[in-house]
Structure 1
Amino acid sequence: MDRQTIGEAERLYSDPDTRIALHLGFHCTGDEALIYSLRQNKPLLAEHGIVVPRRRFFVDEMRRMTTEILRGRPATIPEQEILFKTLIDRELVETLVLSFDSFLCAPRGILGEGRLYPKAGPKLAELRGAFPDNETALFCAIRNPATFLPEVWSRFAGREDPRLFLAGIEPRALRWSDVIARMRAACDDEITVWCHEDTPLIWARVMRAVAGLPEGVALDGTLNVGAQIMTEEGEALLEEYLRLNPPADEPERHRVLEAFFDKFAVEDEIEADVEMPGWSDALISELTLIYEDDLARIAEIPGVTLIEP
């Protein structure tokens, strides 16, 4: 990539050829697992010109740029230069990966106006304005509302009265497809979606998709999520098996992972502990069926790719 001069502004860092990969969360779907897993491959990423900064190096600067300086307008070239220099402080970057579960809202904004992430569209447009000249790919994991809402309540609402936490919200009416559709309406970028529940099986594919790497590239950290639901013995045996018997393709890898998860799973880690007071088993089952139906709607949204096992 050559430095480019446009008008009086010289580009030293903000090359328009840089691909921006924005992992937008959502909350309670893995926290910093993506950053941690990708950064286990720093030498390989460097070979491919991929930069994955830690959150502490970009969150405050991104917030300041989007909310205090840009306020909805596209960044000028000098503003892009300032932002990119802060984010990468180097040249010749092919892909910049930014992952933060509060890009679209703080936890207190997850529910509102009777739906999930009510400000997703405007906040995404605001965020996208920081990179007006770059190809941008969007990534997010979704989660069954039957476990998502109790987790959000437990982690972020201080376990306040559930009636206050869900005030004005009908859980049966919540649709991730609505959130994704509003995001697509806010920008033309491709969106890649996966289910949090499937992450142990598809983590390698997610990592490669975000980094922009082809399927044949081997990565470290692809078992990080799966290891959380397995015994230590099972994890060690799985790593050894995959080392001695590299899967020929993704379907074979899935079969191997499923076999090991079935045999060495830690039951408490697999079965989400739903603790929303007042919720019946019937409601939880109903929400799960609605969620499964919603996945089909998401897969049909133009410009959206759903990663499935």
Structure 2
Amino acid sequence: MQIAFHIGAHCTGGDRLIKSLLRSREELSKQDISVPGPSRYRPILRETMGVLRGEKASAEMQETLLDAIMDEDDPKRLILSNHNFLAPPQKVLAQHTLYPMAAQRADWMARVFFGTECEYHMAIRNPATFVPDLFALSGEKDFGGFIAGADPFRLAWSDTVRRLRLGTGDSRIVIWCEEDTPLIWPRILEAVSGCTPGTRLEGENDVLHTLMHPIGIKRMFNHMRRNPPEDEAQRIRTTSEFLERFARAELLETEITLPGWTQQVIDQLTDRYEDDLEVIAKMEGVEFLTP
């Protein structure tokens, strides 16, 4: 059996992905893919990882855990999603870096299901918007205390991915940018679910329905019915054009009011993020989904 862990990051849609896959649970079940509801595994996995603390789970413990998580006897693939897998929001910037415990936590997750093929899927996001939203999510009141001396200009997702690679051996790692999600959502669902390429999943337009005005969605679908995209690249171009015309502006615009975070700072952080993406794209053993 394969286990696909969707590990966040925080502030990249929350449970949006697992909710979309749950909508296609019946179709995925036909392909021997299990998508249990989060309430069935999040508490018990957190408790099990806390008890084992990196020790390998016994066969008996694994059997008990899997019986609690899913109804299927022996699916080909199991999908587990939790943006707290690597850290709670308050610990994401510990040690002045992004997800400093990524290697250890990924290893602990694999040891709970020792002997099973594991995969790790993660969205990342521009630190210029990620840090402010993470601060809001954390519930902390003082930004200085929250960031605890971390330098935003030294936060690099490539460091996180390297640690993740270190903790997962040769396991499959799939990374994408939250900013690209509206354009590549069907590919993300396919990658995480492991479904047969070309499978039509119920939730493949969920993100667009969230971001676009209904009239824009309707016009885009009508356009694609009249002019079916010849390939994925053309589908993305068409989607991008309609998004630009019919996106809900209030959902795409982010007002950042953190102390000292001027527009110049935001622009510089964005430039560093784009440079960092080029580093990730060249990493060996990492699948980087892009439009």
TM-score range, shorter chain: over 0.9
Match of 1:185 among 166, 169, 175: 166
Provide Cα deviations, 1:25-79, integer angstroms capped at 9, x if missing partner: 01000101111111121221111011111211100110111111x2211111111
Supply the distance in 1 between the matched residues of 2:238 and 2:200 (Cα, whole angstroms). 17
Provide Cα deviations, 1:54-112, integer angstroms capped at 9, x if missing partner: 211100110111111x2211111111111111111321311100010001111111111
Supply the distance in 2 between the matched residues of 1:265 and 1:110 (Cα, whole angstroms). 31
Give the structure-1-normalised TM-score.
0.90
Secondary structure, counterpart of 1:116 in structure 2: coil
Runs of 4+ in 1 over 6 A off after TM superposition: none
Question: Is 1:66–1:72's contact at 8 Å kept on the other side of the alignment?
Answer: yes
The answer to whether structure 1 residue 104 and structure 2 residue 86 are counterparts is: yes
Match of 2:127 among 140, 145, 157: 145
Aligned to 1:222: 204
Comparing 172-181 and 257-266, the one that deviates more: 257-266
Supply the distance in 2 between the matched residues of 1:87 and 1:242 (Cα, whole angstroms). 40
The answer to whether structure 1 residue 294 and structure 2 residue 281 are counterparts is: no
Aligned to 2:258: 276
Question: Is 1:22–1:99's contact at 8 Å kept on the other side of the alignment?
Answer: yes
Unaligned runs of 5+ in 1: 1-17
Letter in 1 for 2:144: R
Question: Is 2:90–2:146's contact at 8 Å kept on the other side of the alignment?
Answer: no
Aligned to 1:264: 246
Question: Is 2:89–2:137's contact at 8 Å kept on the other side of the alignment?
Answer: no
Supply the distance in 1 between the matched residues of 2:225 and 2:23 (Cα, whole angstroms). 18
Give the structure-2-normalised TM-score.
0.96
Aligned to 2:15: 32
Question: Is 1:113–1:168's contact at 8 Å kept on the other side of the alignment?
Answer: no
Comparing 220-229 and 291-300, the one that deviates more: 220-229
Aligned to 2:5: 22
Secondary structure, counterpart of 1:140 in structure 2: strand
Question: Is 1:141–1:196's contact at 8 Å kept on the other side of the alignment?
Answer: yes
Supply the distance in 2 between the matched residues of 1:231 and 1:41 (Cα, whole angstroms). 24
Shift of 1:262: 1.2
Question: Is 1:205–1:215's contact at 8 Å kept on the other side of the alignment?
Answer: no
Q: Percent sequence identity over matched residues?
A: 37
Aligned to 1:56: 39
Aligned to 2:153: 172
Shift of 1:258: 0.7
Shift of 1:245: 4.2
Shift of 1:23: 0.3
Question: Is 2:183–2:239's contact at 8 Å kept on the other side of the alignment?
Answer: yes
Question: Is 2:28–2:195's contact at 8 Å kept on the other side of the alignment?
Answer: no
Secondary structure, counterpart of 2:120 in structure 1: strand
